[in-house]
């Protein structure tokens, strides 16, 4: 787990995502949210300009934690149990926002889309070289993924924040996993677990036609 900015280590965060899967290949909500909290701490080490980006993730994590401490908490133990519970009980706005603007299904979908961006970004960082500009890698991966779901004004603000990203070396050092080479090697080892979580969630949402929830 990530413990806060000073003891922060991105490897632990990515390993947390690995611990999300139970033996039935279901995604456990608590470590999923814990992994997200670690990503937010990481993001916050990059300066105040990112608070706009992390704030939305924080409020979505909170929505899900509230479900996990409610009377319905057992239904939210895994992403799979959440989907079947909410669908069975008509707790999801399927076509347009109405009675359930903060359903678990639509909230996790937003985090899931953001996870795809993170995956593309870290993968491009891993395979980049010392000449590469972090901000451009980040913008390219954002445009190829999450930006497609954002209105112009958010895209503009996010892109401006990305220009403030530190240089590649500083960024990799910020991960607090040792030298630059060690950070790159860690990404190679840890990213497959993010990909796996992403793929399982994507298949679950596709199976239930939930990929376009308003």
Binding site for ligand 1PW (CB under 6 A): 39, 42-43, 53, 56-57, 110, 113-114, 118, 146, 154, 158
Q: Smaller CB distance to ligand 1PW: residue 48 or 71?
A: 48
Q: Smaller CB distance to ligand 1PW: residue 118 or 187?
A: 118
Q: Which two tokens stand for residue 34?
A: 């814990």
Q: Smaller CB distance to ligand 1PW: residue 56 or 169?
A: 56
> In the 8-state DSSP scheme, what is residue 92?
S
Task: Tell me the closest approach of the beta carbon of residue 75 to ligand 1PW, in angstroms.
Answer: 21
Using the Cα atoms of residue 136, residue 139, residue 143 and residue 144 in order, give the sign of their dihedral: positive
Q: Smaller CB distance to ligand 1PW: residue 22 or 126?
A: 126
For residue 35, give the nearest of 5, 10, 62 by alpha carbon. Answer: 10
Task: Tell me the closest approach of the beta carbon of residue 11 to ligand 1PW, in angstroms.
Answer: 14
d(CA 177, CA 184) in angstroms, rounded, equals: 9
DSSP string, 97-144: -SS-TT-HHHHHHHHHHHHHHHHHHHHHHHT--TT--HHHHHHHHHHT
Q: Smaller CB distance to ligand 1PW: residue 75 or 116?
A: 116
d(CA 133, CA 119) in angstroms, rounded, equals: 17
Task: Tell me the closest approach of the beta carbon of residue 74 to ligand 1PW, in angstroms.
Answer: 25
Residue nearest to ligand 1PW (CB): 56
d(CA 154, CA 147) in angstroms, rounded, equals: 8
DSSP string, 64-97: HHHHHTSTTGGGGSBHHHHHHHHHHTT-S--SS-
Do residues 75 and 69 make contact, with C-beta atoms less than 8 angstroms apart? no
Name every residue whose Cβ is closer than 8 Å to that of residue 5 and which is 6 or more positions away in sequence.
41, 44, 45
Task: Tell me the closest approach of the beta carbon of residue 206 to ligand 1PW, in angstroms.
Answer: 19
Task: Tell me the closest approach of the beta carbon of residue 148 to ligand 1PW, in angstroms.
Answer: 10
Task: Tell me the closest approach of the beta carbon of residue 208 to ligand 1PW, in angstroms.
Answer: 19
Q: Smaller CB distance to ligand 1PW: residue 57 or 185?
A: 57
């Amino acid at each position: 787990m990530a413990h806060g900015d000073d003891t922060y280590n991105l490897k632990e965060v990515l390993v947390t995502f690995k611990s999300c899967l139970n033996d039935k290949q279901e995604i456990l909500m608590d470590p999923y949210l814990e992994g997200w909290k670690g990503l937010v701490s990481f993001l916050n080490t990059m300066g105040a300009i990112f608070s706009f980006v992390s704030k939305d993730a924080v409020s979505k994590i909170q929505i899900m934690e509230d479900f996990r401490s409610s009377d319905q908490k057992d239904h939210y133990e895994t992403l799979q149990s959440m989907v079947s519970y909410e669908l069975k009980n008509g707790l999801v706005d399927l076509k347009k926002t109405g009675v359930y603007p903060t359903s678990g299904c639509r909230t996790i979908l937003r985090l899931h889309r953001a996870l795809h961006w993170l995956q593309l970004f870290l993968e491009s960082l891993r395979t980049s070289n010392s000449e590469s500009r972090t901000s451009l890698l980040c913008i390219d991966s954002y445009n190829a993924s999450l930006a497609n779901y954002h209105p112009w004004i958010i895209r503009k603000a996010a892109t401006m924040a990305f220009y403030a990203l530190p240089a590649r070396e500083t960024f990799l050092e910020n991960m607090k996993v040792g030298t630059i080479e060690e950070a790159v090697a860690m990404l190679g080892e840890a990213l497959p677990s993010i990909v796996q979580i992403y793929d399982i969630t994507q298949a679950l949402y596709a199976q239930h036609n939930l990929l376009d929830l308003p």
